[in-house]
């Protein structure tokens, strides 16, 4: 008799605990964005805050040119001369395809400023 009451109590406790659980979380809905784009959005936001919005004097001669919505599958942003927006990029930061690996290259990487970027 005691054994059956114990089993009944354990079963009831299990039922109560199960009913107290929050609803199961649904799987995230894909955003349609590639891993490269998701990574580059975060990198671009961080770079802008750190280099441009903070008014860092070392980055004053440059401005960012975002090319995140690239149809080539290579979202990127560029650092270009502030006074010549259409000029040759001095820094390219990009990711490709389904990879979240970020590549950084350009003449600015050979500058002393390159150590701060990498």
pLDDT at 8: 36
Give whole-number Cα distances, 25 to 21, 28, 29, in Å: 11, 9, 11
Higher pLDDT, 9 or 83: 83
Rounded Cα distance between 89 and 59, Å, is 14
Structure tokens at 101: 């690996």
- pLDDT tens digits, one per residue of 31-61: 668 888 899 999 999 999 999 999 999 999 9
- pLDDT tens digits, one per residue of 90-112: 999 999 878 889 999 999 999 99
Give whole-number Cα distances, 34 to 75, 89, 104, in Å: 9, 24, 19
What single string gives the DSSP state of each residue in 24-76? PPPPPPP-S--HHHHHHHHHHHHHIIIIIITT-GGGTTEEEEEE-S-TTS--E
pTM, to two decimals: 0.69
Q: Please name the residues in contact with 44: beta carbons below 8 A apart, sequence gap of 6 or more.
A: 64, 66, 68, 77, 93
61 closest CA partner among 44, 79, 81, 47:
81
pLDDT at 34: 84
Structure tokens at 104: 């950084």
């Amino acid at each position: 008799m005691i054994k059956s009451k114990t089993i009944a109590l354990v079963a009831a406790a299990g039922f109560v605990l199960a009913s107290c659980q929050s609803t199961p979380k649904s799987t995230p809905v894909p955003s349609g964005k590639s891993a490269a784009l998701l990574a580059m959005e975060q990198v671009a936001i961080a770079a802008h805050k750190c280099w441009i919005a903070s008014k860092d004097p070392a980055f004053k001669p440059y401005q960012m040119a975002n090319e995140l919505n690239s149809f080539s599958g290579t979202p990127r942003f560029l650092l270009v001369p502030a006074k010549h927006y259409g000029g040759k990029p001095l820094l390219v930061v990009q990711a490709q395809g389904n990879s979240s690996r970020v590549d950084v290259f350009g003449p600015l990487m050979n500058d002393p400023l390159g150590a701060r970027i990498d």
